[in-house]
């Protein structure tokens, strides 16, 4: 008799974690791997934020933090949401977690009854359906398409909603697609949601500041204030502030929801690192000039990757408007054979071929719920991106009809 809970049979480990472990194994065997799989900026945490952490250490702020989050950080989150998003919250409506991932997970644990449905536009971030499944909900996949830049339409949303729908997830800018919703598109989605008051909205805004060209970030309650009472806004310091290892995310929402999420957190991890929280106050309130410099560099990298990969026969790459990923169609290589005679039957086969035969780690599109694609992160050094793209091009030339 298995010790594992039956409802976990459909839950998968994170594909990125699996690819990372496989890459580590190949490196231990002597192979050089170009890692384009992890969503982690390579810029390093800015000095003024690091100094705030050091100051907290020196001042002895090393005890157990408040479970809901250091009050001063929750105040800083309120200031940030008011300043950047025109949203008014009180510290009682804020919860601090061990990264956005915990905030998302706790929201599902706090609200899902067995069989409740959660609408996830595809492609989705890898962990979304598994978070829903672990908490005994049912993910409902609403497919988007490359022609619509991977954005959910109001027609597709209307079709996906049922009486059992509990949540709609909106990841904006999107991972893995880089899609950024315009004000007009958000207004259209809001019109549908007004007709279905039982549906809550989770806005995953972690890539908020990482937008390019003419794209402009807006979060749904910013343009539809009447929906704020059933919206959870999730954000954090990992991406724009290059603080992935500090593990600080936050959720802003109605008091009843935040109180229940606090209760869950109090019985699991308790509060996230006190040092990280004090550093995050400086991140939110301090100098932000470095963000614009980082965006300029990311845009430069994006343009090179898109240009190089669109020259490869069998691949097609949209230029993402936000985040730091390219979601590349590999439809043109499906059905071809590797030099060893293996047929590339899926994007997983293609990604495995790139890793094992060419030493380039990417994430297959199946993990994001939309095939045949693969994701690469351009949040790494230009020389690695150029080398990786050349290796991908060389790998495609090895494939035969």
For the stretch 375-400, pLDDT in tens is: 999 999 999 999 999 999 999 999 99
Report residue 249 CA to chain centroid gap: 12
pLDDT at 8: 79
Does the pLDDT value for residue 18 go beyond 90? no
> What share of the chain has pLDDT > 70, as a percent?
100
Q: Give the mean pLDDT of the chain.
A: 96
pLDDT at 95: 98
Mind listing the pLDDT tens digit for each residue in 90-138?
Answer: 999 999 999 999 999 999 999 999 999 999 999 999 999 999 999 999 9
pLDDT at 142: 97
Cα dist from 397 to 238, 326, 333, 358, 374, whole Å: 37, 21, 10, 12, 17
pLDDT at 26: 85
Q: Cα angle vertex 184, ends 105, 291, to 5°?
A: 60
pLDDT at 15: 78
pLDDT at 313: 96
| pTM (two decimals) | 0.95
Does the pLDDT value for residue 23 go beyond 90? no
pLDDT at 66: 95
pLDDT band at 70 (very low <50, low <70, confident <90, very high): very high
Does the pLDDT value for residue 221 go beyond 90? yes
Q: Quote the tokens at residue 130.
A: 């598994």
pLDDT at 296: 98
Averaged pLDDT for residues 227-236: 98
pLDDT band at 174 (very low <50, low <70, confident <90, very high): very high
Q: Is 335 helix (H, G, I), strand (E, B) or coil?
A: coil
Averaged pLDDT for residues 249-261: 98
- Long-range contact list for 156-161, CB < 8 A, 24+ apart? 156/121, 157/119, 157/189, 157/192, 157/193, 158/192, 160/119, 161/119, 161/192, 161/196, 161/199
**Alpha-carbon torsion (202, 253, 250, 233), positive or negative:** positive
Higher-confidence position of 5 and 83: 83
**What whole-number distance in Å separates Cα of residue 241 and Cα of residue 294?**
10
> What letter does residue 273 receive in the DSSP assignment?
P
pLDDT at 22: 85
Higher-confidence position of 46 and 15: 46
pLDDT band at 224 (very low <50, low <70, confident <90, very high): very high
pLDDT at 6: 82
pLDDT at 20: 84
Averaged pLDDT for residues 142-155: 95
> What share of the chain has pLDDT > 90, as a percent?
92
Domains and their CATH numbers in the chain: 6-44+290-396 (3.90.1150.10), 62-285 (3.40.640.10)
pLDDT at 62: 96
pLDDT band at 359 (very low <50, low <70, confident <90, very high): very high
């Amino acid at each position: 008799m298995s010790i594992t809970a039956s409802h976990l049979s459909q839950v998968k480990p994170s594909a990125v974690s699996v690819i990372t472990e496989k890459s580590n194994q190949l490196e231990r065997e002597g192979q050089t791997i170009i890692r384009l799989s992890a969503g982690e900026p390579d810029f390093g945490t800015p000095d003024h934020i690091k100094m705030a952490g050091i100051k907290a250490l020196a001042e002895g702020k090393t005890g157990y933090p408040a479970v809901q989050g250091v009050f001063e950080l929750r105040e800083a989150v309120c200031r940030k949401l008011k300043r950047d998003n025109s949203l008014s919250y009180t510290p009682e409506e804020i919860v601090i977690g061990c990264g956005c991932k915990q905030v998302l997970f706790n929201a599902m644990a706090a609200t899902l009854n067995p069989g409740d449905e959660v609408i996830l536009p595809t492609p989705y971030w890898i962990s979304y359906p598994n978070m829903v499944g672990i908490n005994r909900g049912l993910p409902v996949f609403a497919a988007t398409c490359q022609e619509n830049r991977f954005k959910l339409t109001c027609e597709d949303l209307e079709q996906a909603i049922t009486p059992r729908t509990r949540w709609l997830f909106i990841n904006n800018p999107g991972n893995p697609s880089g899609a950024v919703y315009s004000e007009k598109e958000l207004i259209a989605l809001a019109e549908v949601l007004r007709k279905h008051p039982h549906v809550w909205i989770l806005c995953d805004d972690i890539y908020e500041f990482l937008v390019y060209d003419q794209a402009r970030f807006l979060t749904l309650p910013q343009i539809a204030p009447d929906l704020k009472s059933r919206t959870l806004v999730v954000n954090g310091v990992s991406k724009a502030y290059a603080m992935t290892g500090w593990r600080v995310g936050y959720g802003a929402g109605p008091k009843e929801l935040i109180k229940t999420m606090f209760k869950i957190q109090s019985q699991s991890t308790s509060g996230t690192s006190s040092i990280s929280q004090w550093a995050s106050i400086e991140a939110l309130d301090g100098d932000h000039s470095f963000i614009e410099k980082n965006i300029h560099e990311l845009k430069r990298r994006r343009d090179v990757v898109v240009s190089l990969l669109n020259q490869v026969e069998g691949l097609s790459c949209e230029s993402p408007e936000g985040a730091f990923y390219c979601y590349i169609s590999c439809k043109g290589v499906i059905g071809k054979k590797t030099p060893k005679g293996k047929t590339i039957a899926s994007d997983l086969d293609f990604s495995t071929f790139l890793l094992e035969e060419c030493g380039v780690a990417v994430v297959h599109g199946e993990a994001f719920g939309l095939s045949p694609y693969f994701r690469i992160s351009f949040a790494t050094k230009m020389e690695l991106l150029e080398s990786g793209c050349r290796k991908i091009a060389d790998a495609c030339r090895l494939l035969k009809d």
